[in-house]
């Protein structure tokens, strides 16, 4: 999600998006949980949500002042990255 219009041009979002939601699959979960995690953290993505359909869990990572992710497992979640949005 890139809602800062100054970061968008004809090619898409310039720089890191503010929010990414990853829905895991059995075939790509290792890549999603390790490679993409490091890539998104390094890029400064403010919120990174990992949805695990088989386990019915939602892991929410938010970036701190040191640009490191802090993760928490949540039964429901709200973000202010997009006009306040709540997911049950």
The tokens of 5 are what?
A: 């219009």
Q: Is residue 82 over pLDDT 70?
A: no
Q: Tell me whether residue 2 is in a domain.
A: no
Q: Tell me whether residue 74 is in a domain.
A: yes
Q: Tell me whether residue 49 is in a domain.
A: yes
Write the pLDDT tens digit of every residue in 2-53.
667 777 788 877 778 888 999 998 888 888 888 899 999 999 999 999 988 8
pLDDT at 53: 83
Q: Total domain count for the chain? A: 1
């Amino acid at each position: 999600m890139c809602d800062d219009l100054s970061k968008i041009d004809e090619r898409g979002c310039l720089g890191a998006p503010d929010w990414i939601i990853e829905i895991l699959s059995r075939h790509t979960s290792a890549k999603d949980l390790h490679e993409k995690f490091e890539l998104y953290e390094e890029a400064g993505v403010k919120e990174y949500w990992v949805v695990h359909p088989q386990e019915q869990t939602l892991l929410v990572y938010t970036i701190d002042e040191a640009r490191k992710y802090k993760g928490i497992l949540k039964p429901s979640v709200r973000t202010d990255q997009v006009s306040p949005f709540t997911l049950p």
